[in-house]
Amino acid sequence: MMKVECTRLPSGLTVVSERMPHLESVALGVWIKSGSRNETVDEHGIAHLLEHMAFKGTRRRSARQIAEEIENVGGEVNAATSTETTSYYARVLKDHVPLAVDILADILTESTFDEEELRREKHVILQEIGAADDTPDDVVFDRFAETAYRDQTVGRPILGTPETVMSFTPGQIRQYLGRNYTTDRMFIVAAGAVDHDTIVRQVEERFSTLPVTPLSTPVLDTARYTGGDSRESRDLMDAQVLLGFEGRAYHARDFYCSQILANILGGGMSSRLFQEVREHRGLCYSVYAFHWGFSDTGIFGIHAATGGENLPELMPVIIEELRKSSASIDQQEIERARAQIRAQLLMGQESPAARAGQIARQMMLYGRPIPNEELMERLSGITIERLTDLAGRLFFDTTPTLSAIGPLEQLAPVSDILSSLNIKPAAVQALAG
């Protein structure tokens, strides 16, 4: 029987584990409630750079030693930066958990941020930025976020810009680290063949030097959805198009309702958009809907990839499907969406890495692990009336966000899209401005 155990250490650091007795491995990591959104104006990209630099040498280990020690036992270690979180994680066999804890503690408390390593890593990130700029479906999402949250950190690309990345010094990295990597914002989570009391002792010993209070006040500006229109014509085979609307934050009443609505509209091969746009009309090779939640905002979007010649027909069809969703939704569609979400939850429990990540997100967002039964109970309260009402408010009451890249000569002017959505005059003026 799997059971989630949680211990808050005197330092304020939280340790959470779930024993999965049928496994021989453990996935464990450190999740920090801080990401690109917690950067100042002059720090654009520093959260991601810090994640890279953590593996570039400590007082006890060189970059090569970090890689060799974990791989000598068949393990792996990695990290990731998102808008609101950063994570450092490892996967090892159960006998090597002490080594994984030691390495994660080492890179988070003893990194040296060597000047020469920093110089090299800056150039690695410049290549990463260049590769993203050469990938249209990456560019269109970056432009989408920038347009939806104009001139705000929540909308900025995580990688930063070549200019900001090249400007960073070891001192700036330490300043960001000291402001954000404190025990009250950090969660150590393990899932798999793990003993809770043992890992608590290991964490308490190895992470004892983490700062309890920040060096300065952490940065987090309140998000303000703006919407807007962003188009970039490129000589490409296909057009990448994103149409979005203001969504709901994690704690909002309509958050789970928004997740269900995204699933019904474009969550799989049986979804409305896939069936109508791709299967019935053959207007694109990829179409789906999504809903991103943040701590104080959210965004609902539809992504389509198609040939430029299909754009005149594609956009009206998508908008018509949005209109239909505000008028009628079948109970069978709700049940199918619930079943898909339930399957994702249960399948995630078969992977220690997925399970550790899920628990970490719940701790950062809600302060406690959320049982699957509770999640499903929240979903069970979603009705046809709530979904159609939400669709009407999402799609027809706020300024839309349009982001597109590729052969866009036949993409309708934004005024036509606004007109077809019957957007209220105030929203039209906001978009024009």
For the annotated catalytic residues, the residue numbers are 51
C-alpha span between 297 and 224 (Å, rounded) = 8
Under 8 Å between Cβ of 180 and 218: yes
Q: What share of the chain is helix, strand, coil (3-state, %, to 5)?
A: 50, 20, 30
C-alpha span between 287 and 271 (Å, rounded) = 10
What is the distance in angstroms between the CA of the first residue and the CA of the last residue of the chain?
A: 57
Identify the helix (H) or strand (E) that includes residue 201: helix 196-206
Q: What distance lies between CA 69 and its chain's CA centroid?
A: 30
C-alpha span between 43 and 53 (Å, rounded) = 15
- At residue 168, φ and ψ (nearest 5 deg) are -70, 145
Under 8 Å between Cβ of 427 and 398: yes
Q: At 158, is the secondary structure helix, strand, or coil? A: coil
Which sign, positive or negative, has the C-alpha torsion 9, 15, 20, 23?
negative
Which one, of 298, 307, 302, lies nearest residue 402 by Cα? 302
What are the contacts of 267-275 at 24+ separation with CB within 8 A? Answer: 267/337, 267/340, 268/340, 270/336, 272/321, 272/324, 272/325, 272/333, 273/302, 273/318, 273/321
Identify the helix (H) or strand (E) that includes residue 246: strand 239-246
The β-bridge partners of 88 are: 30, 79
Q: Which amino acid is at 21?
A: P
Cα radius of gyration (the chain):
23
